[in-house]
Every structure is written in C-alpha cells, then in structure tokens.
C-alpha cells in the first residue's frame, strides 16, 4: 500500500476524526446517563476506540460487523450517523433501531452493522452465519466479530471458532482483551497467558495486536481479513486494550488500581493519533478546526435526539412478526 505524503495526512486525519467522534459520543453518553436520560445501563468503550477504528480501516466497504453490548464504537466506525446513535441511546423514534433496542443493540442494516448483542459471545455464531451466507453465495465479503476477553470462556465462543475453522468461513474473531470481564480480572478466569493461543485448539491462527494503536490493529487485522476473504479461513485476533471507564455506570472499580488506569491512559489512542496526524503534516489549526467541528456535530446530534419524539405507543408492534399479537 503506497501512500503519498499529502494523502498520508488526510488518512491520519480521517482516522483521528473517527476516533474523536467515537470518544466524544461515549463521553456524551456518560453525561446523558448521569442526567438520567439513558435508561437501563450503557457499556462504553472509552480507551478501546482504536480497536473498532482499526477494524474499520482493515475492512472494505460492505464488510459486516457483529458487535456486542459494548458496540457504539463499531456502529459509528461503520458509518452510523450521530443522529441515529443518539436517537437510539435516548429511545427516540429517530434511533437506529427506532428506539426499540437502546444502547446495547445498535444496528444499521445499510451500513453492515448487525444488532449489538447483549448475551456474551452470542454474536460469534451469528457472525459465522453471515460469513457462511457469503461463502455459499460466493460473495466477496468478510464479517468481523468483536467480543471481550471474558467471552472466550463462554460456550458459544468454542463452537463458533470450531465451525468457522472447519468451514474456512470468511470471518475474523476480534477479541478486545481489556483485562476484565465485568469486574473479574482475566487471570482469575483463564489459566493461559495469551488468549490468542486459543485459536490453536481449532487449527486457527491466533495473533495479538496492540489495541491502543489504531495502525497496529489495522495492520494485524488486514492480514486476517484478507486471508479470510478469498477463503483462507478465520483468524483469532487478540487486541490488547483497556477501558478507561467502568464496566457500566455505577461500577466502583474495586478490582483495579488508579495506577493501572493511569498507565493505560498514558497510551490513550486519541492522543497518539492526534500526534500521528501532526507528524503526517496536518497543521495544528486544521486539527483544532476539526475538533471543533466534531464537538459541534455531537452537540447538535445530541440536541436533536433530545428534542426528537419517542416512538408512538400505537407503533409498539414495529418489528413484531406477522403472527405475534400484542393487544392486552
């Protein structure tokens, strides 16, 4: 892949924009939750943005993603609009799922985003299925399935990796190892050092990537994606990352130290990417303008969502199948 110097600046800036938009969205979500505007819970990926953005960089337009409940970053990286995302967070009719799913279930059919899944590891078999469909049809598409470190102990992980391996499905399993499954440290729930090594049980390559570095993620994933695409089979990619925020609002974080968090914060992918853009020749003022524009776009989308109406009760049957009945 050759890139001219001028292009490089644009590329790095685009990546920065994407990261910045996601981070900003998550911070808005934090704030909206604290203002009781988000119902239930919300699982943010602050600190982990480089993995989703790297995944997008490594994939082609049209490639699919099957996110989890911690899935805002993927939806946005795949092109979901802020309007659709804020609308869903707030349960508005303008939301990507018309307010039916909320934070955990962001979906965007047109952009290739399957519904975020709130059952740990349930997206892995589903991702095998989208890949299987593509293989059967002979379609040139890859599915990326992100999930957490804790998910590698869930039943569906095992069956899905094996199925994908034996059928050489065009899917990439992307483990976001943020060291904790909810509040439980990974070392208490597995006895191995590298989760990537679990690929070997299926005859599948397992590789690690620095999940705090968007380009590192993109390059490791590119290889996996481009192996998968022509039928070379799936890969287990373990991105080493960290969430700066709690697992969910209210998480008191007794399971980790301030120092640990600070160490990881020092590797904030947003900060690094800003530097990368500058190194690639983008001027400080151009970056500032961009930052202002992103912040404004977020504010505007949030305001629009707050002002948008909730779904009509009369439409409660949207998405019901033809044989469901919902009169009382």
Partner 1 sequence: MSEGASRVLTYREAVREALSLELENDPDVFVMGEDIGQYGGVFKVTDGLLARFGPLRILDTPISEAAFVGAAVGAAMTGKRPVVELMFMDFALVAADQLLNQAAKMQFLSGDQFRVPLTIRTQQGVGSGTAAQHSQSLEALFMHLPGFAVALPSSPADAKGLLASAIRADHPTIVIEHKALYGTKGEVPEGIYRTPFGQAALRRPGSDVTIASYSRTVHVALAAAETLAAEGIEAEVIDLRTLVPLDYDTVLDSVGRTGRLVVAHEGHRNAGAGAEIAARVSELAWHALRAPVRRVCGLDIPVPYAAPLEAAWLPSSEAIARGVRESLGSATSPQAA
Show contacts with ligand TPP in window 172-211 (CB under 6 A). Answer: 176, 178, 180-182
Judged by CB, which is closer to Mg ion: 181, or 205? 181
Instruction: Candidates 12-20, 114-122, 276-284, 286-294: pick the segment binding ligand TPP (CB under 6 A).
Output: 114-122
Between CA 276 and CA 294 the distance in angstroms is 18
Residue 47 or 148 having the CB closest to a copy of itself: 148
Q: Which residue of 67, 116, 148, 246 would you call a contact of Mg ion, by CB under 5 A? A: 148
CB atoms within 10 A of CB 51: 33
Residues 152-171 that bind partner 1 (CB under 8 A): 153-156, 159-160, 162-163, 166
Site residues (CB under 8 A) for partner 1, limited to 118-137: 118-122, 124-134, 136-137
Nearest in space to 241 (alpha carbons), one of 276, 216, 204, 206: 216
Footprint (CB under 6 A) of ligand TPP, residues 247-306: 247
Comparing CB distances to ligand TPP, the nearer of 49 and 223 is 49
What is the torsional sign of CA 268, 18, 67, 223? negative
Please answer whether residues 16 and 288 qualify as being in contact, where contact means their C-beta atoms are separated by less than 8 angstroms.
no
Handedness of CA 181, 80, 236, 50 (dihedral sign): negative
Q: By C-alpha distance, which of 24, 229, 42, 14 is closest to 118?
A: 42
Tell me the closest approach of the beta carbon of residue 158 to a copy of itself, in angstroms.
Answer: 3
Contacting partner 1 within 248-277 (CB under 8 A): 248, 254-255
Name residues contacting ligand TPP, limited to 125-164 (CB under 6 A): 147-151, 154
Q: Which of residues 84-103 bind a copy of itself (CB under 8 A)?
A: none
Give the C-alpha separation, 169 to 236, whole Å.
12
Question: Which residue in 115, 206, 211, 246 binds partner 1 (CB under 8 A)?
Answer: 115
Q: Which is nearer to ligand TPP, 178 or 235 (CB)?
A: 178
d(CA 52, CA 176): 9
Residue-by-residue DSSP string for 195-214? GGGGGGGGT--EEEEETT-H
DSSP string spanning 296-322? Answer: HHHHHHHHHHHHSPPPPGGGTTTT--T
- Give the nearer residue to partner 1 in terms of CB position, either 159 or 291: 159
For the segment 160-219, give every residue that binds a copy of itself (CB under 8 A): 162, 165-166, 188-192, 197-198, 200-204
The residue among 165 and 218 lying less far from a copy of itself, judged by its C-beta, is 165
- Residue 246 interacts, among a copy of itself, ligand TPP, partner 1, none and using kind-specific CB cut-offs from 5 to 8 Å, with none
Residue 67 burial (10 A CB sphere; 0-12, 13-18, 19+): buried
Give the interface with a copy of itself as residue ranges (CB under 8 A): 153-159, 162, 165-166, 188-192, 197-198, 200-204
């Amino acid at each position: 892949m050759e890139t001219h110097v001028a292009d490089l600046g644009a590329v790095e800036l685009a990546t920065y924009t994407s990261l910045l938009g996601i981070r900003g969205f998550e911070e808005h979500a934090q704030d909206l939750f604290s203002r009781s505007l988000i119902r239930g819970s919300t699982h943010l990926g602050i600190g982990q943005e480089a993995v989703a953005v790297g995944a997008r960089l490594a994939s082609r337009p049209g490639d699919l993603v099957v996110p989890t409940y911690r899935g805002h970053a993927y939806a946005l990286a795949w092109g979901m609009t802020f309007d659709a995302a804020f609308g869903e967070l707030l349960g508005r009719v303008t939301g990507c799922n018309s307010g039916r799913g909320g934070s955990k279930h962001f979906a965007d059919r047109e952009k290739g985003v399957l519904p975020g899944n709130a059952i740990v590891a349930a997206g892995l078999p589903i991702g095998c299925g989208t890949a299987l469909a593509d293989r059967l049809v002979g379609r040139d598409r890859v599915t990326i399935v992100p999930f957490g470190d804790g998910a590698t102990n869930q039943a569906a992980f095992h069956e899905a990796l094996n199925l994908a391996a034996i059928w050489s499905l065009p899917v990439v399993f992307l483990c976001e190892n943020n060291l904790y499954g909810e509040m439980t440290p990974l070392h208490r729930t597995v006895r191995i050092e590298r989760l990537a090594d679990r690929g070997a049980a299926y005859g599948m390559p397992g590789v690690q990537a620095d999940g705090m570095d968007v380009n590192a993620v993109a390059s490791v994933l590119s290889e996996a994606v481009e192996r998968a695409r022509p039928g070379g089979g799936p890969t287990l990619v373990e991105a080493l990352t960290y969430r700066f925020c709690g697992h969910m609002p209210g998480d008191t974080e007794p399971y980790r130290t301030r120092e640990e968090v600070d160490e990881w914060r020092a590797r904030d992918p947003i900060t690094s990417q800003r530097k990368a853009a500058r190194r690639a020749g983008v001027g400080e003022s151009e970056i500032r303008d961009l930052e202002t524009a992103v912040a404004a776009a977020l504010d505007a989308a949030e305001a629009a969502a707050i002002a948008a109406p909730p779904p009509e009760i009369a439409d409660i049957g949207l998405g019901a199948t033809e044989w469901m009945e919902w009169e009382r």
